């Protein structure tokens, strides 16, 4: 199987429009045996708080800051972050092109 950033961006709501509405936008292209792959591209404000599973974020586009359990870290494309289950986290001060793969397990 192959999943591309452009393919996932095209599946997001209002992707054909230049302006996306504010909120959380994601696509879940794969789930098997307790592992879920999510393509996540928030616009405006990232409203997420925490999840019931551990996860990795693989930043593929954009830059900004991620706040994990109160610790603020800058990110750019190519960075990877691990977030333990039930730990509060969100993206802040990010560019309009932010896109990330998230792997939940």
Rounded Cα gap, residues 80 and 56, in angstroms: 7
Give the 3-state secondary structure of residue 5: helix
pLDDT of residue 49: 86
Q: Give me the CATH topology for the region 5-15+22-104.
A: Jelly Rolls (2.60.120)
> Would you write out the chain's pLDDT as a tens digit for each of its 105 residues?
999 999 998 888 654 444 545 555 788 999 999 999 999 998 888 888 899 999 999 999 999 999 999 999 999 999 999 999 999 999 999 999 999 999 999
Domain residue ranges in the chain:
5-15+22-104
pLDDT of residue 44: 84
pTM: 0.87
Rounded Cα gap, residues 66 and 62, in angstroms: 12
Q: Judge contact between 90 and 49, C-beta under 8 A.
A: yes
Rounded Cα gap, residues 43 and 97, in angstroms: 8
């Amino acid at each position: 199987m192959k999943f591309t950033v452009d393919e996932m961006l095209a599946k997001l709501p209002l992707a054909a429009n230049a302006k996306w509405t504010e909120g959380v936008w994601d696509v879940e292209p794969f789930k098997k045996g307790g592992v879920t792959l999510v393509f996540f591209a928030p616009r405006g404000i990232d409203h997420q708080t925490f999840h019931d599973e551990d996860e990795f974020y693989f930043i593929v586009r954009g830059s900004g800051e991620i706040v994990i359990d109160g610790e603020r870290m800058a990110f750019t494309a190519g960075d990877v972050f691990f977030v333990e289950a039930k730990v509060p986290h969100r993206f802040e001060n990010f560019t309009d092109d932010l896109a990330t793969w998230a792997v939940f397990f």
